[in-house]
Amino acid sequence: MKRILTISITLLALTFGLKGQNDIEVGSCTSITVGKSASTDGSTITSHTCDSDFRTWLVMEPSVTYGKGDMEPVFKGRLHTDLPWDMRTVTESGKIPAPEKTYRFLNTAYPCMNEKQLAMGETTVEGRPELVNPAGIFQIEELQRIALQRCSTAREAIKLMGELAQEYGYGDWAECLTIIDKNEVWHFEIAGSGPGKPSALWAAQRVPDDHVSVSANITRIGTIEWDNPDYFMYSSDLKERSKKLGYWDGKSEFKFHKVIDGRKPFGIRDWFILNELAPSLNLSYDAEELPFSVKPDRKVSPEMITALLRSTYEGTEYYMVKGLSIDFKRRVWNPYDNSVTVTDEHITPVSPFMSNEIRALLNHLKPDVVPNIRTVAVIRCSYSSVIQARNWLPDAVGGVVYFSYDNPAQSPRIPIYAGIEQIHEDFQVCGQHDYRPDAAIWAYRETNRLSTIDWNKTRDLLEEEVMALESKMFKSCAAVEDEAAKLIEEGKAEEAQELLTRQTNDFASLTMQRWQELKEKLWMIFVRSM
């Protein structure tokens, strides 16, 4: 996510006098990755929470054929468009030679998966402001788009994005992409080149097959092994340019995060997630660095990643609302016999997704009762994804995005396969700038916001629905995938595409309908009990 959001949130926190251990860590986006030997089924996994107000429309972009000598435009401004064809905020920043033909890909705000099971998560690491060079034609989402259109492996994508950024200039804030293909998992971190001719500073590190990793708005790549191409890739002039810019003396150990950022190379989300996946390591939050990746104590499933993306640190000292629970006597009147039943309850009526204004009020009444700690799940999330690549399945089936809108702790997911024809029409409309009943995000957002009015009454109801739909999705997908793979093996690719498209859009319709029904149920709860 872009720096302007971080700045605005920081200023808001200062305005309201919010205090807490992690006030500085208010940036956006979390990405967790899993190597194929660390996952329960041999898949590679990446993920992404888009924690900002960027566009929410998505489409499956078709393959494009170009003529010899054609040039392809590079754009800026597509993160805030309302529809796939909306070009009102879009400007052309340059042109590059076009390929002969492109791959189909799922076009989200940060493009995430193509038909070859190449997939990406994203998280903005900001970096040093002085490294931003607006003369560079590429922003990160355009590098992602072009790589997904042209590449089938993570290494190909990294090489292409790095070369394009060096040749044409990277003009964005520093970013991390967590990239997977059917066999490998990589982190790709990139920053601008500072003043002068536009170029880029970038490095990529492979996650070992039996490891997991996380990136949460802070650069994670440290020491680079220059002679280990199996695990490291980097810009051709990285050492020379780093020395020239004054971020490396040429003698001390080279650490990439010190060059492009300079901050402590992890925050609470990185620390919490790695500890959840590998508690035996007992990683310390007071450490200067954390391991780039760790071997998990047990194999990791997509369900475990979806659970981690719902995290608010409940059960730990970092749970923001731990100090807002009270013993409560509930009185219930029975109108039929005019009796009153009194029960003793322990309630937590305030959710960790409270507004800044509510947090400020509570901290005014009792200083620091609600620390401002950045959780994994946040209410400002536009969408989130958990993506699998599975090398034993046909590409159309093996690549799947488990996608949800709005807060990942509150919303159900739908499966979007690499081989689908097109997504549900309501998913092709952005709902960020206006209330739009035809934008899918509002089907979930209305219910989710309503549920935060009284978390004690609504939480169990909401979370039970999320878990029930998630369980239904994973079970249903297993049968559909077997059938689709068999159809492809029999030469019936079109029938497989229809089946996968139907599975995706049926779950889109089902979850939107269920969240509408849940909204109506919540209103009745509040009407009767407020």
Tokens of 36: 């194929």
Instruction: Give the distance, in angstroms, between the CA of residue 225 and the centroid of all CA atoms in the same chain.
Output: 28
* pLDDT over 90, % of the chain: 86
Tell me the pLDDT tens digit for each residue of 402-445: 999 999 999 999 999 999 999 999 999 999 999 999 999 999 99
What CA–CA distance (Å, rounded) separates 352 from 348? 10
What CA–CA distance (Å, rounded) separates 431 from 194? 36
Give the residue extent of every domain in the chain.
Answer: 3-309, 322-365, 393-529
What CA–CA distance (Å, rounded) separates 141 from 433? 20
Tokens of 175: 């970013």
Query: For tokens 């960020």, what's the residue?
Result: 432
Helix (H, G, I), strand (E, B) or coil at 113: strand
Tokens of 37: 């030997």
pLDDT of residue 326: 87
CB 19 within 8 A of CB 372: yes
This prediction has a pTM of 0.93
pLDDT of residue 370: 94
Helix (H, G, I), strand (E, B) or coil at 294: strand
Other beta carbons within 10 Å of 99: 16
Tell me the pLDDT tens digit for each residue of 184-232: 999 999 999 998 899 999 999 999 999 999 999 999 999 999 999 999 9
What CA–CA distance (Å, rounded) separates 200 from 238? 9
Residues in the chain predicted with pLDDT less than 70, given as ranges, are 1-27, 528-530
What CA–CA distance (Å, rounded) separates 234 from 190? 9
**Residue 369 identity:** V
**Residue 130 identity:** E
pLDDT of residue 331: 84
CB 496 within 8 A of CB 419: yes
Helices (H), 151-262: 154-168, 238-245, 256-260
pLDDT of residue 337: 86
CB 440 within 8 A of CB 427: yes
What CA–CA distance (Å, rounded) separates 370 from 319? 9
Query: For tokens 């998560």, what's the residue?
Result: 121
What CA–CA distance (Å, rounded) separates 434 from 426? 14
CB 177 within 8 A of CB 165: no
pLDDT of residue 18: 30
